[in-house]
Every structure is written in structure tokens, then in C-alpha cells.
Amino acid sequence: MKIRKIVFFLIIFLVLFFPLLAQDYNNTTIISVSQNPQAIRKINKLNLDILMIWQGRIYIICNRQLDDLLKIKKANIAYQIETQKFYPFSNKDANLQGSINGPYHTYQELENDLMTLEERFPDLAKLYILGQSLENRNIYALKISDNVSLEEAEAEVLFIGCHHAREWISVEVPYLLAKYLVENYSRQLTIKNLVDHSQIWIIPLLNPDGLEYSIHFYRYWRKNRRNNGDGSYGVDLNRNYSYNWGLDNEGSSPNSFSNVYRGKSPFSEPETQAVRDFCLTRRFQALISYHNYSQVILYPWGYTSVPSPKNKLLEEMAAQMSELIQAVNGRFYEYGQAGNSFYLTNGDTTDWALGVYHIPAFTIELPPVDVLHGGFFNSGEDIQSIFKENLPAALYLIDWSMKNFSEQFSNSTGTKGEKNKQRKNLTIFVKRDKK
Ligand code: 0X9
Ligand code: ZN
């Protein structure tokens, strides 16, 4: 009887307090500071995890291990504690629709849905495994094309979702794009034309370990789940690419406790390695990496505010996409060079894609604009409208790639650097096992 009682109380204790025991849940304080130029200048130097800007205030997630709050005090920035607005899981109702992740995919649900897509449309969709995450989850890429099993001399475009665990909507948009393309292939001539003349690759979930951790333990988790060996976990996958990796400590952090920790070396993480190795075997003309939130379309460089040699083209393309997006629901996505936006980054996907492959690459920060519209807790009901508004921009990029295919294709060999280290085997990736 006594033992049963103890077990009973132990279970109750674990159910109630497990989230609090989970790493990092208790380790953060959310503060806000006034959004004035002086504060922005000071904050930029401190390498902080910016949650959002809303109603003239900048919200910041302060990590105790990093003494973020202390840094803010030392810099003489006036702040307000906001933690109570966010914990625990303030926007519960928007997300909990029968399960903890509501209509958002878990890793397992996504795996099933990708397999189903392939089964339903075997001529158009083929699922590949690009590698495994640290916790041995598969990193999937769905190829969409006519004659999908063949290698054809066609434009190639890449869409990636979920570098960052807590950005759940960034899984849904590329997944729904894949679904839309195959389901509408025989219904819409424009879709058929795009799919017939291109090879579209979709990696909806680059950070499966992080996503699972965010769903089950700590909603604000951002990085992958690398055990850094010093009590800290995670590398920011969007600081782990090789181009100008670790250039300075402003665009990424050498501190493993930081949310923008860049890892031990460029491509130290299996998730970014999967992208690197995959791109070596393809000839991508363009890519989009989905994130949230802010409603912006960003293009390289992110490591500097100096424009890239392709700045004009990137700006034009971003402007086009922004216009197409706005035409759907009226929501305006700001656009501009990433390094001119609120903060600098180094080692991100798009700098690497432009720097190494010289291709147009965009970070689309999906809605919402601020926390009152959901922040990282996007509502389940918003998935469809966010996808729908992003659809024409994605189609535009495929179309652009098709139109620019011959030029890019003939230019894509013969230059120095990472991209030419190997370009040989186009089918090195394991076809996933049937369950
Ligand atoms: O910081 C990032 O990796 C991206 N933003 S997020 O809030 N989704 O984490 C933005 C990368 C784009 N680069 C710059 N803003 N410089
Ligand atoms: Zn992100």
C-alpha cells in the first residue's frame, strides 16, 4: 500500500513538474525594452535572443546561464520583466486541439504523411533520406517532378523548413507546398507545367530532434539537440553553415549556452551536413528557407550590411514575392537584405547558398508579426491561410528557376570552392525503407 502511494505521488509529481524539470524551461526570463535607436544599438552588441518587437518594445529571451540580464543591466538599458505573459504556454487554446501539437506535425506524423504522398502519387513524388539527426531521426527530402525516378536536365529548386525547432509553421508551409503540387498536377495546367519542367525538392523538417523537444518538453526550444558536454544543449543550425562561419561573435555565438551557438566547426552537425552533402549532388537554381516569425523576406548577405553582388536581382525577386503574397490575403511581408534587418547573422543557410553556389536564396519569416497574433504559437487555424499566401511566391521561384535554367546550368561548373569538391553521384541517398 505504502509503495503504491509513493508511486502514485511520484506519477503526479512527474506529470505536474516534468516540464519544469526539462532543461531550459526554468532558465529563461523574458523582458522587454523600449524600441529606441539608442537601445537598439546597445542590444545589437549583446547577442541576445530577440523574441519579437511589438508596440514599440523589443522582447528578449534572457538566458540565466549566459547572464543576459546582467549584460542588459550593465549596458544600462531600462527593461521590464515580461515572463508572466508567456509562461506557461500562454496561447494554449490556439494549439491544443486534441493533442499537444494540434494540427502541427510531429516528426512521426510528418513521416507518415510524406510516405502517403509518395504512395498516392508514385509518378510525381519520391521520398529520400538525406541523413539522420543526432537522435537518429531521418531527414527527409521529397522530390517532385514528372518522371520522378529519372534524373532529367531540368531546373532544380530547394525548399527547406524548420531549421529552428520552435518555428512549427515552417514545417507546414513546405509540406503543404509538396501536397499542393502533387494534388493539383492533373487539375491545373500551370502546376503541371512547373512540375514537368523542374525538379522540386522539399525538406520540410531539417531539425526533427529539436521539433520533438519543442513539442514535448520546452516550447521555446530553437537549436538542435547536440549535447555540448558542458551542461548545455544544442547548436543553432542556422549558424552552422560554412560561409563566413564564426566571422564574429555578433552574428553567432561561440558560447554553447547561447541560442545562436554556431557549433564547434562549420557543418559540425549532421543536419547541416545533410544539406551540404545533398546540395553537392544537385544543381539548385534557387532556394527558400522557411522560418518564423516577422513576416519578412530576407536575402543575403546576412553577415554584413554591405550588399552582395546579386543584390539587385535578389531585391527584385523578393519584391515580386512580397507582392504575390500580399495579393492573397492582403498581408504585407517586408523585404530586404538580411544584414540590414534587425541583426547580423553568420553561418546561415542563405549566405552559404549565395556565397558558395551563387544562387538566389531567401529566408521567409512567416507570420505572425508579433506575439499578440501568436508569436511562435501560431494558431492551428492560420496554417492554411499562411500556406495559401506563400504558395504563389514558391511557384514564382520555381518558374524563375525554369526560366533561368540554361544560363545557370551552363555556369554551374568549373569554378573553385566547395561546390566542386564532388558533383559526381546524383543518387547517393538511400531510398527510405517501406514500413
Ligand atoms: O536568426 C535567424 O536565424 C533567422 N531568424 S529567426 O527568428 N527565424 O531565428 C533570420 C536569419 C536571417 N538573417 C538575418 N536577419 N541577418
Ligand atoms: Zn528561424
| CB-ligand 1 contact for 339 (6 Å cutoff) | yes
Q: Are residues 38 and 168 in the same domain?
A: no
What is the CATH number for 65?
3.30.70
Q: Decide whether any atom of ligand 1 lies within 6 Å of the 291 Cβ.
A: yes
CA of 364 to the centre of ligand 1 (A): 9
* pLDDT given for residue 421 in this prediction: 40
Residue 100 lies in a domain: no
Nearest ligand by distance to the CA of 161:
2
Q: What is the pLDDT at residue 171? A: 98
C-alpha of residue 179 to centroid of ligand 2, in Å: 23
Residue 423 has pLDDT above 80, yes or no: no
Q: Report yes or no on 174 lying in a domain.
A: yes
Q: In terms of domains, do 118 and 182 share one?
A: yes
- Percent above pLDDT 70 for the chain: 82
Ligand nearest the Cα atom of residue 349: 1
Decide whether any atom of ligand 1 lies within 6 Å of the 348 Cβ.
yes
Looking at the fold, whether 56 and 124 belong to one and the same domain comes out as no
pTM over 0.95: no
Give residues with Cβ within 8 angstroms of 405, minimum separation 6.
154, 155, 198, 285
What domain count does the chain have? 2
- From the number of C-beta atoms within 10 Å of its C-beta (0-12, 13-18, 19+), residue 388 rates as middle
What is the per-residue pLDDT for 422?
35
C-beta of 341 in contact with ligand 1 (< 6 A): yes
Quick one: 160 and 227 in the same domain?
yes
Q: Would residue 203 count as lying in a domain?
A: yes
| Smallest CA separation from ligand 1 atom 4, residue | 291
Whether residues 297 and 181 share a domain: the answer is yes
| Residue 348, in any domain of the structure | yes
* 276 vs 217 pLDDT, higher one: 276
- Residue 150 inside a domain? The answer is yes
Percent of the chain surpassing pLDDT 90: 64
CB within 8 A of 98, min separation 6: which ones? Answer: none
- 390, part of any domain: yes
The average pLDDT across 98-107 equals 81
The predicted structure's pLDDT at residue 102: 86
Q: What is the mean pLDDT of residues 180-187?
A: 98
Report, as an integer, the average pLDDT of 319-338: 97
199 and 243 in a single domain? The answer is yes
CATH number of the domain bearing residue 304: 3.40.630.10
Counted residue by residue, the chain has a size of 435
Decide if pLDDT at 411 tops 60: no
Identify the residue with better confidence: 127 or 408.
127
Judge whether residue 419 has pLDDT over 80. no
Q: Answer whether 250 contacts ligand 1 (Cβ < 6 A).
A: no
> Mean per-residue pLDDT for 249-273?
97
pLDDT at 208 over 90: yes
In a domain, 90, yes or no: no
Contact 247, 303 (CB under 8 A): yes
Q: Is the CB of 166 under 6 A from ligand 1?
A: no
Domain end call among 85, 118, 143: 85
**Which residue(s) pair with 233 in the sheet?**
227
Catalytic residues: 365
Cβ < 5 A residues, ion ligand 2: 164, 167, 291
Considering every ligand atom, which ligand is closest to the CA of 342? 1
346 Cβ closer than 6 Å to some ligand 1 atom: no
Which domain covers residue 40, as residue numbers? 2-85
Q: Which atom of ligand 1 is nearest to the CA of 222?
A: 9
Name the residue of 345, 350, 351 whose CB sits within 8 Å of the most ligand 1 atoms, as the mutation to test its pocket: 345
Distance 345 CA to ligand 1 centre (A): 7
Name which of 417, 404, 164 is nearest 279 in CA terms.
417
**Looking at the structure, do residues 148 and 223 belong to the same domain, yes or no?**
yes
What's the whole-number mean pLDDT along residues 408-431? 41
Same domain, 306 and 271: yes
